[in-house]
Amino acid sequence: MTDININGHINDVDIANDFAAHFKRVFTSSGDDVDYSEFMRTWADYISDDVQSSFECIDKVTVKLIDKCVKDLTIGKACGPDDLGAEHLLYAHPALNALIVHVQNLFKLILCHRFVPT
């Protein structure tokens, strides 16, 4: 097996430190209040100017549709950043019906307000 050489570094610690230094140099924070305010103003303008409403889609998000989608989830996949996997939804019984109603409400609110919460 050949040694990996990245920017003259061959051991894991030096390579990791080189990557860390590089990303520290090129990283810029997106937490700037001016950028966020501009985004929110643009978003508000877009919503107020849009005559075509997403309300037409809201009635199509039914408990039956959510239930079918949950049952069609593939198990054994990696969790997302929230550490929730398909198994959490599939095996939530007996609370599954209540959970599906909450998921339905969440999707309806996302469509209504055109905003996906973090």
- Over residues 10-19, the pLDDT tens digits come to 887 888 788 7
User: 68 is in which domain, residue-wise?
Assistant: 53-113
5 lies in some domain: no
88 lies in some domain: yes
- The CA distance from 112 to 101, in Å, is 16
Question: Where residue 59 falls among pLDDT bands split at 50, 70, 90?
Answer: confident
Number of domains in the chain: 1
pLDDT above 90 as % of the chain: 7
Q: Which residues contact 89 (CB under 8 A, 6 or more apart)?
A: 70, 73, 96, 99
- pTM (2 decimals)? 0.51
65 lies in some domain: yes
| Residue-wise pLDDT tens digits, 69-86 | 988 999 999 988 888 888
Greater pLDDT, 25 or 108 = 108
100 lies in some domain: yes
Residue 112: enclosing H or E segment and its boundaries?
Answer: helix 96-113
21 lies in some domain: no
- What DSSP assignment string belongs to 10-34? -SHHHHHHHHHHHHHHH---S--HH
